[in-house]
């Protein structure tokens, strides 16, 4: 069980309808929560123990009790900036009804816990400060981050809410919103979380994420022509570049190193070919090799600007090593997708030595 953030939101309490969603099998948490004296705008929602035992199934159950026009999802360990709700409500009020979701930035308060948390923080900065704002600006499909998603409740219900069988329900919902013609944008506000800083727990968490991305790609490519028609060629290519790109690159990355090592042992590493075509292929390979790594390292360093993590810039050189951890989780995700596609491996929180976020 993770810790609950104590930051008080800057929002009228009378307009807050807070649901604390707990699973029926989690007796210890239910018992602890039942002893607390919650204010009148807080309800405990106990989700019946039915398969699949996933977060989206729990969210769908809780949604039927929600009131109001807007909803936001927070994990128990989240610490959003106090004015985040007010910012989101203001943007929705001024925006077109087609704006269905706002994704706030996610960041880690325990970035300097260890090497793994540093790399995790760089990865999050690249995604939430570099890539997602770009996707939103150009109207591309935006994979949501699972928490700090602000929705119009009416749109959620119109689309059938979350897929209870998808273990990264957020990425799938972002795609379904785009296919339905709704807009998803990023919100200029940050939610701080606890970075998974233990290697075994990190691999389990990343396994679930990658398994869910594989599920999402498979679901939306069951009828590729329908997907292409609904999101257009640009969105279709972006979907493949991001979803398929991450899946394929995660699986291919260690193979790439194996082939490099084999060529090095054979003495053929970067050796020129017998003809012009061989030399052109070698030049393309070198360009991809150098350019691909350089772009990712530069993007990681640039994404740390304006954050409290600028001191992490030297650590971007370890991103290729971090990718090997991602690859291990990717192969595990393939195995789980075959053996236990809907199994949700929960991540234990509250293990950081830096439990109190600086934002508090």
Per-residue pLDDT reduced to its tens digit, 49-99 = 999 999 999 999 999 999 989 999 999 889 999 999 999 999 999 999 999
**pTM of the prediction?**
0.90
In whole numbers, what is the pLDDT of the chain averaged over residues? 91
pLDDT class of 323 with cuts at 50, 70, 90: very high
% of the chain surpassing 90 pLDDT:
80
Q: Where do the structural domains in the chain lie, given as residue ranges?
A: 79-349
> If DSSP codes are grouped into helix, strand and coil, which group holds residue 102?
strand
Instruction: Lay out the sheet containing 70-73: strands in order across.
Output: 70-73, 149-152, 99-108, 183-193, 79-80
In this prediction, residue 356 carries a pLDDT of 55
Alpha carbon distance 177, 181 (integer Å): 7
Give the pLDDT of residue 298: 94
When pLDDT is cut at 50, 70 and 90, the band that residue 291 belongs to is confident
pLDDT, position 348: 84
List the structure tokens of 203: 């691999």
For strand 42-47 and strand 70-73, is the pairing parallel, antiparallel, or unpaired? unpaired
């Amino acid at each position: 069980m993770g810790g609950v953030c104590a930051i008080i939101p800057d929002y009228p309490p009378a307009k807050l309808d807070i649901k604390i969603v707990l699973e029926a099998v989690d007796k210890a948490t239910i018992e602890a929560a039942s002893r607390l004296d919650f204010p009148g705008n807080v309800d405990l929602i106990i989700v019946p123990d039915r398969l699949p035992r996933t977060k989206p199934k729990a969210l769908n159950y809780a949604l039927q009790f929600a009131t109001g026009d807007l909803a936001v999802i927070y994990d128990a360990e989240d610490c959003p900036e106090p004015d985040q709700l007010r910012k989101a409500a203001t943007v929705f009020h001024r925006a077109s009804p087609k704006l269905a979701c706002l994704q706030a930035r996610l960041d880690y308060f325990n970035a300097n816990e260890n090497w793994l948390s540093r790399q995790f923080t760089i990865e999050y900065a690249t995604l939430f400060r570099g890539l997602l704002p770009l996707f939103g600006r150009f109207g591309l499909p935006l994979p949501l981050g699972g928490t700090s998603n602000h929705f119009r409740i009416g749109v959620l219900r119109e689309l059938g809410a979350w897929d209870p069988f998808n273990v990264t329900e957020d990425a799938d919902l972002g795609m379904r919103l785009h296919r339905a013609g709704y807009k998803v944008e990023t919100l200029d506000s940050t939610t701080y979380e606890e970075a998974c800083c233990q290697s075994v727990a990190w691999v389990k968490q990343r396994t679930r994420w990658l398994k869910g991305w594989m599920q999402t790609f498979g679901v939306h490519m069951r009828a590729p022509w329908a997907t292409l028609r609904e999101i257009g060629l640009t969105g279709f290519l972006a979907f493949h570049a991001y979803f398929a790109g991450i899946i394929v690159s995660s699986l291919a990355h260690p193979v790439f190193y194996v082939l490099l090592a084999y060529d090095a042992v054979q003495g053929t590493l970067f050796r020129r070919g017998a003809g012009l075509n061989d030399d052109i292929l070698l030049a393309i390979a070198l360009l991809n090799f150098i350019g691909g790594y350089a772009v990712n390292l530069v993007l990681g360093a640039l994404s740390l600007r304006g954050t409290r993590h600028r001191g992490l810039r030297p650590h971007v050189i370890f991103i290729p090593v971090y990718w090997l951890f991602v690859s291990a989780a990717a192969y595990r995700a393939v195995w789980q997708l075959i053996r236990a596609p809907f199994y949700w491996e929960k991540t234990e929180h509250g293990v950081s030595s830096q439990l109190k976020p600086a934002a508090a």
